[in-house]
Amino acid sequence: MCIVSCEDRAQSALRAVAQFANIAGQVQHDELRSASLQVAHEALAQCEAHGQRCVDFLLTALRQSCKANASAVEDVIWMVYKVARRSDTAKAWILQSGGVAALRAALLCHAEPQLLENGVWTVYALDGLRSLAELLEGCRGPEPREAALRAALCGVLYQLVSPRRSASDFAAMEVVQPESVVVLLTEALKIGGLDEDALWASCTVLDTLVDKDPRLACVFMSRGGCLLLVQMLRSASGPACQDLRKVVACLMMTLAEACAEAAQAFRSAGACQVLAEEGLQGDGADTEAAMWAIGAIDGLDAVLQAMRSCGLSKPRLLQGGACAIGTHAFKASDRELGQLPAALVLLLEIISQEQATSSRLLRACVKALGCTLVALTPHAPPGHVPEVDRGVQALIAQLLRQTGVNAPSADEEDSWWRDGDGYSSPVGAAQAAAEAIGRMALTSSQWRPVLCKCAMQALISWIRSGVEDRKFHKYLFWAAAAMSGMPFVASELKLHISNVSAVDAALCTIIDILDEDIDGEYTLAGADRGEAEMPSLLALVVEAMKVHSSAPEVQARGAACVGLLVPYVPLASLQTVAPAAIVAVLNGARRFPRRTDVVSGASAALRSLCEMCRRRRDASLEALVATLRQENAADCVEQAFCSFARYTDCTELLEDAAAVAAQLSGVEALLERLSQEPATSQLRVAGLKALFEEGRLDLDFFSRHAASAAIKVCEQMVMEASQYNSEKDPSEPPIDTTRLHEVASLLSGLCSGRLRAMCA
């Protein structure tokens, strides 16, 4: 109690001195002001002197650590860490007084694992990566204690850049400067002497960073990193080093794919020979990774040669080879396109040997076969290339095997099909086949009728078999929709509306067809939208949301579908189905108020409905606005504000919710609500963005008074953000004033133009 009381008294005294110094310069009386400033200066100088004395005491204790036991040293390091974390001034004193060197000497004197880790974190607390670089520079010797300290440094960097961190954690990683991490780790590897755990951690960190930012591959390569990895792999022999061989091979693959110069550097260093000698000797995860690396460094020919040489004796090698084939097929150059038929033949040979093939290998080969065919079928129409025809037959056979659907007979019109080749598949291979069939249908118009005739019934049979695997269910719907479009999705949704897995898959497919913001390989934007059936489809979606009210994924995707379908529904039909849709969407949001996906879907749906009412300006649609108010949609929006305003990854959700609030409660009410938010709230920027977008689409959205109020609020928010950044605690993240300035400028410019137009 005495210690606590003394600490409270000390803090109170320091606050009194700080307050006195703050007000001394504000005194009007000249003589009193001068005397007050003199006293304040003396008091602050004494505080600073005693603070430096405390720091000197700690550093002296560190320098004398060789005379103390490890427990005492750990306590001193803990004290240094706490002082440095709490005070930037103390941190500067420690650095100026040689704190890093003192910590290094203490750690080398007591090289216990936990003490080393805590000590390295303390060094990092002083000046981040710069102080870690200073620490590394002072422990370059071959002694075991120095090697242990370098290993602890690698472990701390691993924890800073853990691959298990979320995207939001990576946003905070910007201050860690990934390039500096790469330089530090490369230097630690170059010095050498690291144990297997430290090598594994270093390679994992490098793999994570280069995968996130491929430009870092050049940084690593320019410092001789590629040769270091080859040497590391050469020394990592034996069963005990399997994990290290795997992570080294994965890093090699990532580097080679990120930078062509890195691939050339690996080839010059003889990486593929070492990968074959060390990585392909067993049949574990390291062997699989080695095949990926060989493919990335030396190309498809080297992969095929390694696969042919082992037969079926090494399934993991073949799995890695299949993955490498799939990667090359996905981004095949003209030269690699000419190599794919040979890869296709090899894959068919492996798939055909059912009894000797594991289900995992079969799935990998079917997936690689699908990637290969997706690359080849646009250049090889049905019946023109026998290997391609056999490959498509093999894919369809994966679907036919367990569905009870018979393959077309040999005398049917499609002569490219030949039954009886003995392909079989577990569900995993069937899923890979369904995905590939869908991709071929999207990319090759010549193959689409053949696939529809020969594979569609198998897809339907799988869907109607009650398969429980949700991912597989989605691929089945997606592949079928690639051939038959929205009418197929609507009919299957109606048929399986009581099956939550089928409903979820159908809703996902509707989104894939209608959402124009989806990019990449899974978009079905070119599929038949069946716009004539949109009203009945919207009613089906609403019914599905009612049937599966306890399934959050159905509520989220159902609401998203409502938002996408509303613009396609004729006015007369919308009047009938929209009230039920509003109720379903709001019920889902109320049942799962903290599920981001549910509230995001609901906000988007409500915004779509509000915009439809505003754009069509039909008196009959006023009933929809009345329904929104009657069902208390504004309360639902307010709940979204309260739940998600502080999250940086919910800006789209907040923008949609703000747009709805402006439509229901008015622009000025929303501006008042935004002004009540703290300066750090993400709702502020999202709300201003929503007002700008709505005003840009509708010139009458802002009244004269609302436009003036919006300009004032923008100025107020920019000022408050700048003030917050200047006064915030150093440990708190700053407000992104760049984005705020951008959005505020857009809205202010829009409103200023609106005011000028009103005055003209």
Which residue would you say has higher pLDDT here, 354 or 34? Answer: 34
Looking at residue 29, the DSSP 8-state letter turns out to be: S
Both tokens of 324, joined, read: 């490498």
Task: Tell me the pLDDT band of 408, cut-offs 50, 70 and 90.
Answer: very low
What is the pLDDT at residue 419? 37
Task: Tell me the pLDDT band of 731, cut-offs 50, 70 and 90.
Answer: low
What is the pLDDT at residue 519? 67
pLDDT in tens, 638-654: 999 999 999 989 999 99
What span, in angstroms and rounded, lies between the C-alpha atoms of 59 and 101? 10
Taking a C-beta distance cutoff of 8 angstroms, is the pair 365, 351 a contact? Answer: yes
What is the pLDDT at residue 659? 95
Q: Is the pTM of this model over 0.85?
A: no
Task: Tell me the pLDDT band of 520, cut-offs 50, 70 and 90.
Answer: low
What is the pLDDT at residue 197? 94
What span, in angstroms and rounded, lies between the C-alpha atoms of 573 and 552? 27
What is the pLDDT at residue 1? 43
Does residue 253 register a pLDDT over 80?
A: yes
Task: Tell me the pLDDT band of 85, cut-offs 50, 70 and 90.
Answer: confident
What is the pLDDT at residue 167? 41
For the chain, what are the domain ranges? 1-138, 669-726+734-760
Does residue 194 register a pLDDT over 80?
A: yes
Listed range (180-189, 362-371, 612-621) with the worst mean pLDDT: 612-621
Does residue 12 register a pLDDT over 80?
A: no
Average pLDDT, the chain: 86
DSSP secondary structure letters along 529-579: --GGGHHHHHHHHHHHHHHTTT-HHHHHHHHHHHHHHGGGS-HHHHHHHHH
Instruction: Average the pLDDT over 548-577 and give the result.
Output: 92
Does residue 119 register a pLDDT over 60?
A: yes
Task: Tell me the pLDDT band of 423, cut-offs 50, 70 and 90.
Answer: very low
Taking a C-beta distance cutoff of 8 angstroms, is the pair 294, 275 a contact? Answer: yes
pLDDT in tens, 301-347: 999 998 998 877 788 899 999 999 998 888 887 787 888 999 999 99
Give the Å distances, CA to CA, from 702 to 638, 662, 749: 22, 10, 13
What span, in angstroms and rounded, lies between the C-alpha atoms of 692 and 695? 5
Task: Tell me the pLDDT band of 399, cut-offs 50, 70 and 90.
Answer: confident
Instruction: Average the pLDDT over 355-370 and give the result.
Output: 84
Does residue 409 register a pLDDT over 60?
A: no
Instruction: Average the pLDDT over 90-102 and give the result.
Output: 90
